[in-house]
Amino acid sequence: MTDNRDRRVTTMKVGFVQNNPVFANVQKNLDRVAKLLDGRRADLFVLPELFATGYQFKNRQEVHDLAEQVPDGTTTAALTAIAKKSNAFVVAGLPEADASHVYNSAVITGPNGYVGKYRKLHLFSTEKVCFDAGNLPLKVFDIGGAKVGVMICFDWYFPETARTLALLGADLIAHPSNLVLPHCPQAMITRCVENRVFAVTADRVGSEDRMGPLRFIGQSQVVDPGGNIMTRASETEEEVQTIAIDLEKARDKSLNPHNHLFKDRREDFYC
């Protein structure tokens, strides 16, 4: 990353991992991700939602069986080892246990260890049966001079999520996902344009059929604040992609001499 005087970096290399986890085989999935990332370089890697457990939990007990404390669990430790080895920050999804609660969470970790976590606010479909809804405020994390907000998959459907992260100062939204609906990759273009932020969506591929078939649509991507797809992965293959981004593009919220994305908001007319 290039550093400037006030510790705001201007450029960074970001990447995503698009994997195909085997349900409930956490160690195999962690090993696979470590292999996919071996020798790869970026300042930030984003991994999918529930990347090491798989997605289709049948009930709350199954989540409890695989949920881990954050930051004290195996998955956070494995991600921190990757972060240290590759001198990168990592954002990745996992089921989190907190006393009797289980959350669909994302952990943020880096070369110096654990940074923070996010708990998915908008649970999709049967996730509502298996997980507790997130109860932490949306937050922006400073990762070495870049401001990163985190949201998980279906949060994209609620534009307030990305808007809040942008208003909190996010340069980039890290978006671990397990996409099953077709619209998200295109919708994230709008989320980026309307907030002038970068977004790294990390999706998975493959399918699960533990309670009826689910196919995950891949197409992990990096989108810039102008709505350009900088890179997009396939619908079917495991992949790691990295790309350099200019964070300054996310910091100027003027659209033209007359319009400013935040100052022009008519909060007096919104609910």
What residues act catalytically?
A: 49, 120, 153
109 binds ligand ACM (CB under 6 A): no
Decide whether 41 or 58 has the Cβ nearer to ligand ACM. Answer: 58
207-208 vs 221-223, strand pairing mode = unpaired
Smallest gap from Cβ 176 to ligand ACM, in A, equals: 9
Cα angle: 195, vertex 168, 204; to 5 degrees: 65
Decide whether 122 or 196 has the Cβ nearer to ligand ACM. Answer: 122
Q: Which of 33, 37, 44, 49 binds ligand ACM (CB under 6 A)?
A: 49
Decide whether 92 or 153 has the Cβ nearer to ligand ACM. Answer: 153
Q: Are 78 and 34 in contact (CB under 8 A)?
A: yes
Decide whether 37 or 180 has the Cβ nearer to ligand ACM. Answer: 180
CB atoms closer than 10 angstroms to residue 211: 11
Smallest gap from Cβ 134 to ligand ACM, in A, equals: 12
Which x/- pattern over 56-95 shows residues binding ligand ACM (rule: CB under 6 A)? ----------------------------------------
219 binds ligand ACM (CB under 6 A): no
In this structure, is the dihedral angle defined by the CA atoms of residues 122, 128, 130 and 131, taken in order, positive or negative? positive
The C-alpha atoms of residue 202 and residue 47 are separated, in whole angstroms, by 5
Smallest gap from Cβ 178 to ligand ACM, in A, equals: 4
Smallest gap from Cβ 268 to ligand ACM, in A, equals: 33
- Alpha helix segments (H runs only) across the chain: 26-37, 60-66, 74-86, 127-130, 159-167, 184-195
Smallest gap from Cβ 49 to ligand ACM, in A, equals: 6
Which x/- pattern over 174-213 shows residues binding ligand ACM (rule: CB under 6 A)? ----x-x---------------------------------
- Within 4-143, strands assigned E span 9-18, 44-46, 89-98, 101-110, 113-119, 140-143
Decide whether 103 or 124 has the Cβ nearer to ligand ACM. Answer: 124
Counting every residue written for the chain, the total comes to: 271
Q: Which of 153, 170, 202, 223 binds ligand ACM (CB under 6 A)?
A: 153
Tokens 């100062």 map to which residue?
169
216 binds ligand ACM (CB under 6 A): no
Q: Number of residues interacting with ligand ACM: please give it, by CB under 6 A.
A: 6
Q: Are 192 and 198 in contact (CB under 8 A)?
A: yes
Q: Which of 45, 51, 89, 124 binds ligand ACM (CB under 6 A)?
A: 124
154 binds ligand ACM (CB under 6 A): yes
Of 199, 148, 146, 149, nearest to 10 by C-alpha is 146
Spatial neighbors of 229 by CB under 8 A, at least 6 apart, are 189, 221, 222, 223
- Tokens at 167, concatenated: 């208003």
Q: Which residues bind ligand ACM (CB under 6 A)?
A: 49, 124, 153-154, 178, 180
